Amino acid sequence: MERLIVVLSLVIVLLSISGQTIGEEVMSMSTLVTPQKMSFEDCNKLYKMPSDKLFYLAISSINANRFTVDEIQSKTGYILFTAVGKQFLASVVKVDNNRSILKLTPADNVYYFQPGIVLNVFKYIDVNSLEPLVQIPPRS
């Protein structure tokens, strides 16, 4: 009985050290880079932030993931970029003053691509959205 308790506690400690919780679904690296059928719902995410902040975070996320920016239109809130040889359209849609939606859709409307493209953009925005935007003071 003591061995069972020791083994179970060791498993729980190892899982907590690795950053995973019991029941949490974690995608493997091969799943993230293997092209597969994606749903439209997985390419949209609602954020609790103004649309202009989300637009800037989307640009920085695309840049941080080393995707190629093809075109930016700040007035309408879209970014056309290329990732792994496929063009995507990132559209920021304002819901209200404090909420906005980011849509990452393939330009050719074929939803067969690597899920890591979309998930990495969303993950970058999730991590960096907690940081407040600050204005850089002008040089004197």
**pLDDT, block means (10 residues), the chain with 140 residues:** 63 55 49 80 93 93 94 90 93 94 94 92 90 76
pTM confidence score: 0.70
138 inside domain: no
Which pLDDT belongs to residue 93? 94
75 inside domain: yes
Instruction: State how far the alpha carbon of 6 is from the alpha carbons of 9, 17, 85, in Å.
Output: 5, 16, 50
9 inside domain: no
Which pLDDT belongs to residue 30? 55
Q: How many domains does the chain have?
A: 1
Domain of residue 100 covers 35-128
110 inside domain: yes
Which pLDDT belongs to residue 74? 85
DSSP per position, 74-138: TTTTEEEEEETTEEEEEEEEEEETTEEEEEEEETT---EE-HHHHHHHHHHHHHHTTSPP-PPPP
107 inside domain: yes
CATH number, domain with residue 50: 3.30.310.80
- 3-state class (DSSP) for residue 44: strand
Which pLDDT belongs to residue 8? 59
Which pLDDT belongs to residue 24? 40
111 inside domain: yes
19 inside domain: no
23 inside domain: no
Which pLDDT belongs to residue 14? 55
